[in-house]
Structure 1
Amino acid sequence: MPIVYLLLALVLSSFCAHAQTAAPDFFAFVLLGEGSDGQPVPMVRSVAERTTACPMLRTSAGGATIPMTARRRPPGGHFDEVTVCEARYPVAEAASVVLGNRRIDLPKVSLDTPRRVVLIGDSGCRGPAKDKPQECDGDGFAKVWPFGVLSDEEADKRPDLIVHVGDYNYRGTERGLVLPPSLTGYAAPLNVNVYDTGDLDDEDIASLPIGAAYWSQNIEGSPNPDKWSNWRDDFFRPGAKLLVAAPWLMSRGNHELCSRGGPGWFYLLDAGSTLLGPGHWQVECPPQLPPDWRPGAWPKPPAQPFAGLPFPTHTSAAFRLKLGRLNIIAVDSANAADAVLFNLDTYISQYRDVARMLAEDPTPTWVVTHRPIWAVVKRDKGGPIGLSPYGFINETQREAIDRVFGRGLPPHVTAVIAGHMHRFQAIGFEGPRPPHLAVGTGGMELSHVQPPPSPENPRAAIRVEGLDRSPAWVVGLRDFAAMIVRPVEDGTWTSVLYGTEGETLAICDSRWPGPGHKRSVCELQ
């Protein structure tokens, strides 16, 4: 045998042996949900490949062993290689998840006011997509896709709470889909746009595929269904160190819609669980095709799935975490249209629930929502336009809040925290509206700063008129980053935005904006 073939055979043999012996992935984390009694409930989740057995939860103080129970896999077989299990997690006591000879140590959880809160969002990587592909390799997930770097850095800052503002899975959630004749029964492949209600911060291609039809990646027989390997590579592997650093509040993004990464979201990360008490359960996405549509024998064109019928989506109810002198209300805004009014009744109902929570408890409160309530985008990407040189999003949430609250959110809402825009934007209002932070800088390819900074002083805040009928001062950055927020007992807070080298990019203080102050909530460094 020629030497070159012998070497090639040895290399391939070594590679195959490594692939066969590589340990299956195993992750664990603590997430917070609201129990039936209104109190926060810590839950531990384990995520293990190539096993059907659940781990045990072992407490550190008494050494008690608590069995974990399996969550229900999404149908279709695309998550069959991974088992997700859960149990209630102790308060004020560290614990470990043990699976065979493997062990993951988890943090001590406090339900007091958190002192250091990590904000991160839009952390996935697009990969070799048709539109604007993104490189997802590099030494330790280096700067081409920095989520792993940010994950390690923020874990080292010893947070008490981690808030992810949504969009975990990009490489598995493309905008378009080519459906083969074997699926449709048609003579030629069918190109469709996957359902979403707006992704309008992308500077090159605006996406608003709302129409009479509902197209989903997760229809039976889809060539690109949601699957475990994308979740593993986009979130769990690069975020492994941060996963065990502190308990998590997970917010759902539009990439986790049922038409996109929804099956994985509800299996892996959503807080819905029977562990929260009566009236709670694990949520699943509805079937993504009408019941009479069969693979290979679809109704002939121009038939369109769910035309004239309710779309098979799910919006989770808002929930509240009471953590000492800080409340956090999480709003599922995945299905709120960015620049037009769509699903408005759903969000009026959501914000009525928020209003009830705020009325019954005057504790300082943050509202966390993936899609910004107030954000400045390019003129042709948002609405209403009017005479403003800018566009604004999110129109559905803004209208819902106007109808529910009238004069605006009450003063004990001290921050609105969001992502969705792949950049940092901080807004301080001159009128009585809470500061607004968008921190969608966790790893996805960045978009340009809006409004454009002044050439003479790029760090200066820009005054924007007409942002929800109130003058606002806006600063922004196009940098990969995460934020550490420090709440104070009186309801105020300060924060620092850190870059991938640990450098300070912005400092913020909730006391800076307000009537007559004429400044944003953050200053760029």
Structure 2
Amino acid sequence: MTTCSIRSVLSSVLLLPVATVLTLSACSTSPQLSAQQDGLQQAWTVLGEQGQAVARVVTTDTVCPVLTQDGKAQMMTARADAATIPQRKTASSANDSKPSAFPVLTCEAALSPTTTSASVGGRKLPLPQPVAKKIVVIGDTGCRLKLADNYFQSCSDSEKWAFRSMVEAAAKTKPDLVIHVGDYHYRENACPEGNKDCAGSPWGYGWDTWKADFFDPAQALLKAAPWVMVRGNHETCTRAGQGWWRFLDPRPLQSGRDCNAERDDASGDYSPPYAVPLGRVGQEAAQLIVFDSSKVPNKTLGKNDVPYQVYMEQFKTVNQLSDAADFNIFINHHPILGLGAGRNKEGGLTIWPGNATLQGVMHEVNSTRLFPSKVQATLAGHVHLFEALTFNTDHPVQFVSGNGGSSLDSPLPAVLPAGTTPYAAAEIAHFSNSNDVGFMVMERESQSWKMQAWNKNGKLMTECRTQGKKTQCQSFQ
């Protein structure tokens, strides 16, 4: 191992690529650096703008570790130093919040597109494939501990919180890519005294909670393939935004965009869309378009409202991005063409349409289709179900993969009440849903896509095939 130690500070603007790592030269071999790398906690690969692969690590060491790409050693650069962030305003009351402790260093390095092997501290890193043929989709995965809802999930029971077993089942499919559609972190408040189901669980927004709620149970998939990370409403600045920026967002971290200070939330709560190419099969080039809807409000926006103006410009960017591929998959957290479900006070089931706030903005950009013409599919989470919706009208197929392990929503009926639709101009052709914990697999074929929803026990729930703008689905429930 080398003994050279190089630290550089990232100072890129938001839309620039991740800072170039520094290559080591004239370094000697010594066991000392091995000892310095004993604190390596996690190592994974995240994909950012235009598919740029970024190696990320979390370590308790005080210096970043060495990344080896095709036999060449490089020092990784510091993304976020260890720190305890003073308590700020959160979604909970001040008495039920606390400072966020991050006694870990987050490091990163851009991976070369030509790299054939990469490792950190002896841990092999998954690399992107030229064509992503098999993609696992998960979402809404954490263990809910929320005082406001008086809901405390049993985090130590693998049946009542089945994220880890779902991950292990999904990893066996050997994906080329993993997509998380948002909401990684749910342990917001302390487990009540005397509650055996969640006793001893970490809580709050620091590293110990991120480790327990996401990084430890996600291990099998973090090792299996690179990830595309989508931001959910649980990762806004008043919730787990600090960890989102430290660990998951693919772009360089900037002071003021870290959710540490409430005064900066107008910047920290938004980020522009970007595309991740999936390669070309035959004549068809495909890509993902990743959209940050984490802060979308639950109300109709006026055209002078700041969120409206932000989203308007971002959806114009989506249109521009979509021109780069023949087949586009739009990904965000809040379902635009999906349905929500909940029990009312009388115990009956209430069905909600798709996100009206985003629909209103999108209609201004793309009229009744909402999406640009080259978007053929859309993925989301937020609703804690699996859903598949196709339409007789010219709308892309909508998949909701929000059944990743957090407390599940009540399932919707197999046959929807007459007139039910996620959007007034959309006429449903097929609808299926499930509240079994599970995951999606999107598999690319020669001229089509096969979309399958599986539960954690290996049962196929729904299968769809998409070719061009046409999707046909079959439910096995």
TM-score by length of 2: 0.76
The correspondence for 1:234, drawn from 213, 217, 220, is 213
Amino acid at match of 1:55: P
Q: How far apart are residue 344 of structure 1 and its match?
A: 2.0
Contact 2:384 2:403 in 1 (8 A): yes
Amino acid at match of 1:227: G
Q: 2 CA distance for matches of 1:407 and 1:42?
A: 36
**Match of 1:47?**
58
Contact 1:369 1:417 in 2 (8 A): yes
Q: Greater CA deviation, 345-354 or 372-381?
A: 372-381
Distance 1:462 1:476, change over 3 A: farther
1:357 maps onto 2:379 in alignment:
no
**Match of 2:290?**
330
Q: How far apart are residue 524 of structure 1 and its match?
A: 3.1
Q: How far apart are residue 328 of structure 1 and its match?
A: 0.6
Q: 2 CA distance for matches of 1:461 and 1:322?
A: 39
**Match of 2:25?**
none
Cα deviation 1:274-295 (Å, max 9, x = unaligned): 7xxxxxx57733554459xxxx
Amino acid at match of 2:441: I
Q: 2 CA distance for matches of 1:282 and 1:363?
A: 37
Q: How far apart are residue 232 of structure 1 and its match?
A: 0.5
Cα deviation 1:330-352 (Å, max 9, x = unaligned): 00000112453372222111101
Distance 1:462 1:42, change over 3 A: farther
Distance 1:289 1:242, change over 3 A: closer
Q: How far apart are residue 144 of structure 1 and its match?
A: 1.4
**Match of 1:495?**
451
Q: How far apart are residue 76 of structure 1 and its match?
A: 1.4
1:93 maps onto 2:116 in alignment:
yes
Q: 1 CA distance for matches of 2:272 and 2:189?
A: 24
1:448 maps onto 2:414 in alignment:
no
The correspondence for 2:138, drawn from 109, 113, 120, is 120
- Superposed, 1:215-294 pairs within 5 Å as 226-273=205-252, 284-286=257-259, 288-289=261-262
DSSP-derived class of the 1:71 partner: strand
**Match of 2:48?**
33
**Match of 2:155?**
136
DSSP-derived class of the 1:375 partner: coil
Contact 2:376 2:468 in 1 (8 A): no
DSSP-derived class of the 1:45 partner: strand
Q: How far apart are residue 487 of structure 1 and its match?
A: 2.3
Contact 2:242 2:260 in 1 (8 A): no
1:376 maps onto 2:323 in alignment:
no
1:82 maps onto 2:104 in alignment:
yes
Contact 1:430 1:513 in 2 (8 A): no
Q: 1 CA distance for matches of 2:228 and 2:238?
A: 23
Amino acid at match of 2:120: V
**Match of 1:67?**
75
Distance 1:313 1:95, change over 3 A: closer
Cα deviation 1:197-225 (Å, max 9, x = unaligned): xxxxxxxxxxxxxxxxxxxxxxxxxxx85
Q: How far apart are residue 500 of structure 1 and its match?
A: 1.3
Q: How far apart are residue 462 of structure 1 and its match?
A: 8.0
Cα deviation 1:346-365 (Å, max 9, x = unaligned): 2111101101212x324211
The correspondence for 1:414, drawn from 376, 392, 402, is 376
**Match of 2:433?**
476
Q: 2 CA distance for matches of 1:47 and 1:377?
A: 36
Cα deviation 1:297-345 (Å, max 9, x = unaligned): xxxxxxxxxxxxx857520000011221211100000011245337222
Q: 1 CA distance for matches of 2:167 and 2:316?
A: 35
Amino acid at match of 2:152: P
Contact 1:136 1:144 in 2 (8 A): yes
Question: Percent identity between the aligned chains?
Answer: 28
Amino acid at match of 2:52: V
Unaligned 5+ segments in structure 2 are 1-37, 87-99, 191-202, 280-284, 345-349
Q: How far apart are residue 447 of structure 1 and its match?
A: 0.4
Q: How far apart are residue 67 of structure 1 and its match?
A: 1.0
Cα deviation 1:76-129 (Å, max 9, x = unaligned): 16344111100112445121111xxxx31122322x221100000001001474
Q: 1 CA distance for matches of 2:297 and 2:400?
A: 17
Q: How far apart are residue 162 of structure 1 and its match?
A: 0.4
Matched residue pairs, number?
398
Unaligned 5+ segments in structure 1 are 1-22, 175-223, 275-280, 292-309, 382-388, 455-459
Cα deviation 1:46-99 (Å, max 9, x = unaligned): 012x3212111123xx4111110111246616344111100112445121111x
**Match of 2:359?**
398
Contact 1:419 1:438 in 2 (8 A): yes
1:507 maps onto 2:457 in alignment:
no
Amino acid at match of 1:53: V
Q: How far apart are residue 154 of structure 1 and its match?
A: 1.6
DSSP-derived class of the 1:422 partner: coil
Amino acid at match of 1:366: I
Contact 2:354 2:422 in 1 (8 A): no
Which structure has the larger Rg over C-alpha atoms?
Answer: 1
Q: How far apart are residue 466 of structure 1 and its match?
A: 6.7
DSSP-derived class of the 1:149 partner: helix
Q: How far apart are residue 489 of structure 1 and its match?
A: 5.1
Q: 1 CA distance for matches of 2:417 and 2:327?
A: 26
Q: Greater CA deviation, 344-353 or 251-260?
A: 344-353
Distance 1:499 1:282, change over 3 A: farther
Q: 2 CA distance for matches of 1:132 and 1:257?
A: 20
Q: How far apart are residue 410 of structure 1 and its match?
A: 3.3
Q: 2 CA distance for matches of 1:56 and 1:145?
A: 35
Contact 1:128 1:135 in 2 (8 A): no
Distance 1:468 1:339, change over 3 A: farther
Q: How far apart are residue 513 of structure 1 and its match?
A: 8.2
Distance 1:489 1:231, change over 3 A: same
Contact 1:426 1:522 in 2 (8 A): no
1:321 maps onto 2:281 in alignment:
no
Q: 2 CA distance for matches of 1:380 and 1:469?
A: 26
Cα deviation 1:402-438 (Å, max 9, x = unaligned): 0111142233212100000111111101100000000
- Superposed, 1:292-303 pairs within 5 Å as none
**Match of 2:7?**
none
Contact 1:172 1:227 in 2 (8 A): no
Q: 2 CA distance for matches of 1:508 and 1:314?
A: 34
